[in-house]
Amino acid sequence: MPSQDNKMSLQHRRAHAIILALTVFRSCRCIRTSIGDREDKVIGWSEKYKDPDGSPSLHIEHLSWSPRSFLYGSFLTEDECDHLIRLAKPHMKDATILDQKTGKQIPNPLRQNKETHLEIGQDEVVNKIEFRISRYTFLPGYNGEPMHMMYTTPGHGYEAHTDWLEDWWHPQLGNERIATIIMYLNDVLEGGETVFPNSTAQPNKGDASFSTCGQKGLSVKPKKGDALMFYNLLENGRTDGTSLHQGCPVIRGDKWTATKRILVNRAPNNDATGMFKKAIVSNMLLKGSNSGSKAA
């Protein structure tokens, strides 16, 4: 039969065990609460991340695996959007394309809009945006092409195309476009969606809030400050046919975008050939546009 001292010792051990369990439980709750309340959560855990130099409402939404695409809500601030437009406006010209046969610029058959390019790191704002793109895409900033600015008016859009480089040019470049980031610089009243006709998901089919064009596949409405990122290549390095995309015609309002295309390897420096520089400045080679149409 246990002695009185043994009974007291057993009771003390039980009490200590209960106190320890309660302490651990409360500690876990505190840790869980502190992690849940933190504003610097790991990107993708809760789809929210407070960027120190971006919009406080920036958030990430996964859209599709075919193509691999993500929407960065409020990626740019309103001031950044307005700043990019101010930089581009004085230099906008009718969209052209490089004719493979003549080596001259001709009207772009895929789109009737105006365009220009901003220099990499052109000013502090552009540099900050490019650094943010690198940080959120996990792709080196020095692999990026110059920012491509486009302005589209009602009745015009961008026909279905792919952003990867055409086979005849790719070996000469020794590079390929791995990803594209489209940043929307203003709200479009109607139309102007970016649609992926070959996407495996068809979430907008029959949705009257999208234009007829926007209902053809996975599509994103242009919203000021948002950015759409998608991969042009599959995990094995082959081109992804589901990355075929189209800029739907603008129905009401106008549309400003800034597009950043990221290469697999470091972008060429100033010693690159003149032919290459023309090809990069031209958004889509004539032969490449035909290739994109076939992919549809």
Euclidean distance between CA atoms 198 and 106, whole angstroms: 28
Burial class (CB in 10 A: 0-12, 13-18, 19+), 18: exposed
Q: Report the Cα 216 to chain-centroid distance in Å.
A: 20
pLDDT single digits (tens) 243-266: 999 999 999 999 999 999 999 888
**What's 184's DSSP letter?**
E
Domain boundaries, the chain: 1-37, 59-295
Return mean pLDDT, the chain: 78
pLDDT single digits (tens) 54-104: 667 789 999 999 999 999 999 999 999 999 999 999 999 988 877 778 878
Euclidean distance between CA atoms 111 and 97, whole angstroms: 10
CATH number given to 59-295: 2.60.120.620
Binned at pLDDT 50, 70 and 90, residue 289 comes out as very low
DSSP of 63-76: EEETTEEEEEET-S
**Statement: residue 173 has pLDDT above 70:** no
Mean of the pLDDT values across residues 118-140?
94
**Percentage of the chain lying above the pLDDT 70 cut:** 69
- Other beta carbons within 10 angstroms of residue 56's beta carbon come to 10
Structure tokens at 140: 């080196």
Note whether 50 and 39 are within 8 A (CB).
Answer: yes
Structure tokens at 253: 């309002």
**Percentage of the chain lying above the pLDDT 90 cut:** 53
- Position 53 scores a pLDDT of 64
